[in-house]
Amino acid sequence: HMSNKNLKLTVGILFLIATFVFFFLSLVSMGIIHSQTVVKAHISILFLTVTGYSLIISSLPLTLKLAMNILSPASEITVACWLNFWFNIVSILFLSMFSISGIGSTWLNYILPVSSGLGLLLILPVQVDI
C-alpha cells in the first residue's frame, strides 16, 4: 500500500518523463533531431510514441487511487465514475480533432508535450497527508 505522498510523487515522475519523451518525439517529428536513415527515424518515432503513451497510461490507475484516497468520504464508485467521465470527454475532444478536414497532424507536435506537462502542473498543487 503506497502512501498518498508516494502516489503523488510517482504520478508526477511519470508525467515528467512523459513530457520529456513527447518533447523529444516532437523534435524528431519536426526534423530538428535528425536520424541517419528513414528507418531509424521511424523506429525512433515508434519507440518514443509507445514509451510516452505507456507512461501516461500507467499513471491512470495511480491517479485514480490517489483521488480515491484524497476524497475518501466519497464512495470509490462515485470518484471512479467522475474521473472516467472526464477522461472520456477529453478523449472524445482529442479524437474529434482528427475529423476536422485540413487540420493535419502538426498540432500533435505541440499538444502531446503540453498536455503531459499540464498533467504534471495539475498534480503538483494537490495537498496530500504525509
| Residue pLDDT, tens place only, 12-37 | 999 999 999 999 999 998 888 888 88
Q: pLDDT category, 130, cuts 50, 70, 90?
A: low
Question: What grid cell was written down for 95?
Answer: 479524437
Q: pLDDT category, 100, cuts 50, 70, 90?
A: confident
Asked whether 71 and 79 are in contact (CB, 8 A), the reply is yes
Nearest of 67, 50, 58, 53 to residue 10 by alpha carbon: 58
